[in-house]
Structure formats: structure tokens, C-alpha cells
């Protein structure tokens, strides 16, 4: 694997009983890129992310993160290597506050397990304090300081999604995987998300992005992989993808042909 590759997905196939959700998918993600994975609903995008993050292993094939084979690692092991994700269907505790949700998300970062917590309460307290400090930092970063103690269920959807984004940042990842971060957001919320994705990328975190909003994808991504029925049908730059006949037929439709004008105002 060359030095430039952060993530290598090597011929993975995922079968659920009779269904082939991901079919012999290979992709390389380079360091310092925002890499998009796009395709119609049900084409295997989330299933791909689930395998990269260790929710379940592929039926066949291997996955490497910075040269380390992660194919059969547990989610917490992969998280500790530096990969973090958000969930398409938010995984927040709705009756907990924004701050508490961030702290729960950061728990994998602390060295102490539950058992140690009981055995060594002093050390556990120190780690709790570090976690709180990190959560306050993230709150500030995502602009939700004022909503620190608000229960997540009382937040508008856009702010819930921002909380989910913050939760993923708690562990200071090197690779952040975002599963449809802008879905269901209004244009103002979407712009806030694009801004924070770019800002986060600028801090040195590489981004793997699943997204249906093509204005977002085409304007912020450097590389795109396209899935259809679990299989890769194209990969390349936004220019390549917008002009790929198979992608237009399977997913984009005629809307993006000829080349879409870059519409900064929608971002």
C-alpha cells in the first residue's frame, strides 16, 4: 500500500442471507481528501461504512486502515485506530443533554473500562474530568455551547445532527465518516454543515462522505466512488462522475448533464 492511502477496501462482498448488499467492492481513499460514496438508496453505502467501522465483517474481502488490516476488528478497536463515524439514523440518547451525549461518545477514548471504574475511582474521576474538558471543547467547536444542557429530544433536527457530528469528533479521529450528514436539513442548516465539514477537513481530518445532495458532493469532494446494486460502477473526480453515462443513467439523471454550474449559493 502506498503512503498516500489511508483506507483500502479490497474486494469486499457482504451477503445478508440471499441478498448481496455489497458486491466485490474495492476502493482506495487517499490522505488529505474528502472522498464521497454515492449511489441510489439501497445500493450498499451504509453497509460499506458498517464494515469499515467494524459493525460486522465482510463476507469476503479485506479492509486496511493505514496499512493495518481491520477486517475482523471490533468497533472500539477501529475507533481507537482513529476512525470515527456519524450514523444516518442518529445514535443519540434523546433524553440526555447535548453535553452528556458528547461525553458518552468520548467514553471509548478513556482507558478505563467499567470494571476499572469500580476498582480505581480516583483514576476514573480524572478521566471523567478529561472527558468533560473535551466535551466542552467540542461544544464550542460545533457552536452548541448555549444548548449544553438541553435534552437532545428538544432540539431541532439540524442541531441533533450537529450533536451527532460532535459526538464523532470526541475521540479526535483522523478519518471521519459521515453517513448522509445533510439529509433532511434546510438550506441554512446544510450550509452550516458544509462549513463545518470543510473547517474540520482543514484541521487535518480526512473525510469519507455519503451524501445525496449533489451540490454538496460536487463542490466539496475531491474523489467520488459510485455504487449501484452493491457494486462499484464508477470512480473519479467530480468532473469524471458528472460526465459518466452509466452514473447519469443509474443515479444522477439528466439534471447533471452537461456539467452543472458550481452553485456556491446553495452551499
Ligand X SMILES: Nc1ncnc2c1ncn2[C@@H]1O[C@H](COP(=O)(O)OP(=O)(O)O)[C@@H](O)[C@H]1O
- Give the interface with Mg ion as residue ranges (CB under 5 A): 45-46, 88
Pick one of ligand X, Mg ion, none as the site partner of residue 16 (Cβ within 5 to 8 A by kind): ligand X
Contact 159, 147 (CB under 8 A): yes
Nearer to ligand X, 45 or 190 (CB): 45
Rounded to whole angstroms, the Cα distance separating 72 from 119 reads 30
Report the DSSP beta bridge partners of residue 209. Answer: 36, 178
Looking at beta carbons only, is 135 or 226 nearer to ligand X? 226
Among 4, 11, 16, 239, binds ligand X (CB under 6 A): 16
The DSSP H or E segment spanning 93 is none
Of the pair 38, 139, the CB lying nearest ligand X is at 38
Q: E strands of the chain, at which residues? A: 5-16, 19-30, 34-38, 60-65, 68-69, 83-85, 175-179, 206-210, 223-228, 231-236
Minimal distance in Å, beta carbon 54 to ligand X?
Answer: 14
Report which residue's Cβ sits closest to Mg ion.
46
Min separation Cβ 180 and ligand X, Å: 8
Rounded Cα distance, 212 and 267, in Å: 14
Instruction: Write out the binding residues for ligand X, residues 208-227 only, by CB under 6 A.
Output: none
| Interacting residues with ligand X between 36 and 95 (CB under 6 A) | 39, 41-47
Which residue in this structure is represented by grid cell 469486499? 12
Residue 200 binds which entry of Mg ion, ligand X, none, CB below 5-8 Å type-dependent: none
In the block, cell 474523489 appears at 223
Which chain residues interact with ligand X by CB under 6 A?
16, 19, 21, 39, 41-47
Amino acid at each position: 500500500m502506498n503512503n498516500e492511502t489511508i483506507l483500502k477496501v479490497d474486494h469486499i462482498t457482504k451477503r445478508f442471507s440471499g441478498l448481496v448488499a455489497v458486491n466485490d467492492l474495492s476502493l482506495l481513499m487517499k490522505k488529505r481528501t474528502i472522498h464521497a460514496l454515492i449511489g441510489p438508496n439501497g445500493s450498499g453505502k451504509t453497509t460499506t461504512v458498517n464494515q469499515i467501522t467494524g459493525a460486522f465483517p465482510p463476507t469476503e474481502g479485506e479492509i486496511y486502515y493505514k496499512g493495518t488490516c481491520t477486517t475482523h476488528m471490533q468497533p472500539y478497536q477501529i475507533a481507537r485506530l482513529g476512525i470515527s463515524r456519524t450514523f444516518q439514523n442518529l445514535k443519540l440518547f434523546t433524553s440526555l443533554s447535548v453535553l452528556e451525549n458528547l461525553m458518552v461518545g468520548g467514553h471509548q477514548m478513556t482507558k478505563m473500562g467499567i470494571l476499572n471504574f469500580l476498582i480505581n475511582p480516583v483514576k476514573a474521576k480524572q478521566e471523567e474530568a478529561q472527558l468533560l474538558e473535551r466535551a466542552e471543547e467540542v461544544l464550542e467547536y460545533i457552536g452548541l455551547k448555549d444548548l449544553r444542557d438541553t435534552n437532545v429530544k428538544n432540539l431541532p433536527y439540524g442541531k441533533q445532527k450537529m450533536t451527532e457530528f460532535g459526538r464523532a469528533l470526541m475521540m479526535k479521529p483522523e478519518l471521519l465518516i459521515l453517513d448522509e450528514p445533510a439529509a433532511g436539513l434546510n438550506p441554512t442548516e446544510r450550509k452550516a454543515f458544509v462549513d463545518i465539514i470543510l473547517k474540520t477537513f482543514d484541521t487535518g481530518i480526512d473525510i469519507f462522505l455519503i451524501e445525496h445532495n449533489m451540490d454538496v458532493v460536487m463542490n466539496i469532494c475531491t474523489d467520488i466512488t459510485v455504487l449501484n446494486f452493491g457494486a462499484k460502477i464508477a470512480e473519479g473526480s467530480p468532473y469524471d462522475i458528472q460526465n459518466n453515462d452509466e452514473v447519469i443513467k443509474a443515479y444522477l439523471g439528466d439534471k447533471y448533464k452537461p456539467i452543472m454550474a458550481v452553485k456556491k449559493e446553495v452551499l
